[in-house]
Each structure stands twice: as C-alpha cells, then as structure tokens.
Amino acid sequence: MNIVTTIAEVKQRTEEARNQGKTIGFVPTMGFLHEGHASLMKRARQECDFVVVSIFVNPLQFGPNEDFERYPRDEQRDRALAQDMGVDLLFCPTVEEMYPRASSVTVNVHKRVDVLCGKSRVGHFDGVATVLVKLFNIVGAHRVYFGSKDAQQAAVVQGLIEDFNIPVTLALCETVREQDGLAKSSRNVYLSQQERDQASLLYATLTQAATRLQAGENVQTIAAMVEAEIRNQTSGTLDYFEILSYPSLEQNINHDERVILAIAVQFSKARLIDNLIVSRQDQKEEGIHHV
C-alpha cells in the first residue's frame, strides 16, 4: 500500500492505473476507521482493480458548535486497517493541501437537505458536496463506495453525481452493525456504558416501525410509537424520526415506492443516526447495491 499526502501524487498514481486499463474504486472517509469502513474497502477490492481510500476530516462540513477538533482520529490504526483490507493507495491530505486558499467557488445543495440531519445542520451538506467534487476530480474513480447508514449523504451524493455529470458510479453498501443491532460509528466511543446498552434500541425500534408501515399502519401512529420508545427506554433525546421517499427524501410517499425510516438520538456526548430503507409492501432491503 502506498501512502500519499499530496494531490499531485494521487493524480500521478491513479493516472498510471487508468493507463493500465484498471478500474478504480474509491472510498472517501474521515478516518477513525471501523468495520463499516472495512466493509466498503472489501467490496471495492472485490469489484475494482485499484482501490483508493482517502482520510480527511473536512472542516467545511462542521458547524460552529460541532466537533471538528474533537472528532476522533487514530492515524496509525487507520493505516493498519487499510493495509489489511488490501488498499492500493491511501490519501491523507492536510487541510492546507485540500484548501490552500480561500475558495472562490463552493457547492450549494438545494434539495434533499431540508430534512433529517440536514434540517439541523445548515450548510453541512454544502461542505460534503464541495469536498467530494474535489476528491472526485482528484481521484477520477470509476466507482465510489458509501455506507447506507449515512443514507441522506448518499442521496445527496447521487444528486451531485447526476447534476454535474460526474463519471462515477455510486455503490451503496449495507450498514455494518454490532451483534445487538447498533450501527457501527466512529462516535460510538463517546457513549457511556449505560448509553451503549440503550443505543441498540434505535435499530430495534426502526425494525418495529418498518414492520408496522408495511402492515399499513399510518405514519403518525408509527412516529408516536417511536417517540414513546426513545423517551421511556433511553436517556437520550429524540432529534428526529421521519419516513420519507428515497432517494428523493420527500414527505409524500406512494404505496409502492422505496422509503427510508430514519432516526437520530442525542445522548450526552454523541448523536447517533440510523435508518432502514424499505419498500412499502416488501421486506426491508438494507443491502441495496445502488441508489
């Protein structure tokens, strides 16, 4: 595995791969890698000839009161995991390398951002979209891999790819979970033991809500059930629970279309998100390969 820190080095090595006729798979991350990231790398390794992983904590997607400085980092562990997963190129730029000067152009996302996490994190997805445009242009990958736990992000990225005609295919991979159902996340380390025990309720409640939705129960009744479960069974505060069309993320859902059931719960030092993507009449389909 080659580890590089400059844009020029990435472009040189990916150009060499393309000239050799290799397909390039790309996994963009903010580091502190866990089994969820490993699953993305594994799939990229299975489907592509040359795998690139980026580790960059992007300041543009953090709000003024959010945890950019406190975001967990473990560079040595990240490198070891990427090596174990057979990554060919690990890109670890500094903020100065990615943003050497004040940007004259940034990306502003208009749709799919006024719900779920985007509703309370104004400007967050503008930062995500801006850095991804840069990374897509730097790496020039054929396929890019995201986890379905961040389903709103994946929906925004799909819109970005389509609207800007970026020649890359988005592969959406199944959420990796602990044995009790808790979605793997870098922020799980901030949970107290009591909160960690309670956190498994997010997935259990989502599963119950999906079952009720597919049985024909109305959205308002399901939402009331979820709110009561979180309030009575955890010390966390429900930030949101929403049922929306997917990937358009609109409140009007048709009987036969895919929908997302998404939840966010704020614990003392960690805000956890989770979701299920289902068809109204079918079983849950969390392992979707493409948006």
- On whether the CB atoms of residues 238 and 265 are closer than 8 A, the answer is yes
Predicted confidence at residue 64, as pLDDT, reads 74
Q: Given CATH 3.30.1300.10, say whether it is the number of domain 186-279.
A: yes
Would you say how long the chain is, in residues? 291
Predicted confidence at residue 187, as pLDDT, reads 86
**Residue 251 assigned as binding residue:** no
- Active-site annotation holder among 37, 110, 289, 290: 37
Q: Active-site residue 37, yes or no?
A: yes
Predicted confidence at residue 284, as pLDDT, reads 46
- pTM comes to 0.86
The secondary element (H helix, E strand) that includes residue 24 is: strand 24-29
**Residue 35 assigned as binding residue:** yes
Neighbouring C-beta atoms of residue 249, cutoff 10 Å: 23
**Residue 110 assigned as binding residue:** no
CA distance 206 to 22: 40
Tens-digit pLDDT profile for the chain (291 aa)? 999 999 999 999 999 999 999 999 999 999 999 888 999 999 999 999 999 999 999 999 988 777 788 788 999 999 999 999 999 999 999 999 999 999 999 999 999 998 998 888 888 999 999 999 999 999 999 999 999 999 999 999 999 999 999 999 999 999 989 999 999 888 899 999 999 999 999 999 999 999 999 998 999 999 999 999 999 999 999 999 999 999 999 988 876 589 999 999 999 999 999 999 998 665 444 443 333
Sheet of 24-29: strands edge to edge?
2-4, 89-91, 50-55, 24-29, 143-147, 169-173
In order of 35, 39, 72, 74, 169, the CA distances from 288 in angstroms are 18, 14, 29, 30, 14
**Residue 111 assigned as binding residue:** no
Residue 225 corresponds to which amino acid?
M
**Residue 149 assigned as binding residue:** yes
**Residue 119 assigned as binding residue:** no
Sheet of 258-266: strands edge to edge?
237-245, 258-266, 271-279
Neighbouring C-beta atoms of residue 265, cutoff 10 Å: 24
Domain locations in the chain? 2-173, 186-279
CA distance 223 to 112: 20
- Topology of 2-173 in CATH? Rossmann fold (3.40.50)
